[in-house]
Amino acid sequence: MYLGIDVGGTFTDGVLVSENKIIKTCKIPTSNNSILEAFEKLMDDKPFKRLEKIVISTTLMTNLILERKYDKTGLLLLPGPGISYQDYNFPFQFAIARGSIDFQGRIIEPVDEDEIIENVGQLIRAGCLNIGIISKFSSRNPALELEVEKIVKKQFPHLNIKLGHQVTGNLNFIRRAMGTGLFLATHNTFYNFILDIENSFKQRNINCPVYILKADGGIVPIKFVDKFAVDTILSGPAASCLGAKALLESDASAIVVDIGGTTTDLSLILNSIPLYASRGVRIEDIYTHVRSLAVYSIPIGGDTGIDIDGNNCLILTFQRAGLPACLGGEKPTLTDCLRVLDLTDIGDKDKAYSVLENISILLKKPVTEIANTALNMATDLIIKAIEKVFKIWQEEPAYRIWQLLNPLSIKPNTLICLGGPSGPMGRLLSEKMQIKNVHYPLCSVANAIGAALAIPTYEEKVRINTEKGEISSSWGYFVKMENLQKQKLFPKIAETKALEVFNLFLKENKVYAEPEIYQHEVFNMVRNWQTTGQIHEITLGIKPKILGFIENKECFG
Tell me the domain boundaries of the chain: 1-46, 73-183, 250-447, 458-542
Of 110, 113, 117, the residue nearest 95 (C-alpha): 117
The alpha carbon torsion through 304, 305, 307, 310 (nearest 10 deg) reads -70
- Residue 9 DSSP code: S
Strand arrangement of the beta sheet that strand 2-7 belongs to: 21-29, 11-18, 2-7, 53-58, 210-213, 219-221
The alpha carbon torsion through 98, 103, 107, 108 (nearest 10 deg) reads -60
Burial 455-490 (b: 16+ CB within 10 A, else e): bbbbbbbbbbbbbbbbbbbbbbbbeeeeebeeeebe
* Cα angle 21-546-458, degrees, rounded to a multiple of 5: 155
Q: What is the pLDDT, as a whole number, of residue 322?
A: 79
* Separation in Å, CA 497 to CA 165, 405, 460, 537, 543: 20, 35, 14, 12, 20
Q: What is the pLDDT, as a whole number, of residue 528?
A: 76
pTM listed for this prediction: 0.81
Residues of the chain below pLDDT 70 = 46-48, 66-67, 83, 85-88, 283-286, 405, 407-409, 474-476, 482-487, 509-510, 557
3-state SS class at 189: helix
User: Rounded to an integer, what distance in angstroms lies between the CA atom of residue 462 and that of residue 482?
Assistant: 17
| Domains 73-183 and 250-447 belong to one CATH topology | no
User: Rounded to an integer, what distance in angstroms lies between the CA atom of residue 514 and that of residue 525?
Assistant: 32
Which CATH number does 73-183 carry?
3.40.50
Is-contact 236 8, C-beta < 8 A? Answer: yes
Is-contact 326 352, C-beta < 8 A? Answer: yes
CATH C-level class of 250-447: alpha beta
Is-contact 352 371, C-beta < 8 A? Answer: no
Q: What is the pLDDT, as a whole number, of residue 25?
A: 94
Strand pairing category for 273-274 and 264-270: antiparallel
Share of the chain above pLDDT 70, in %: 94
Q: Which residues contact 472 (CB under 8 A, 6 or more apart)?
A: 139, 140, 169, 462, 463, 465, 478, 479
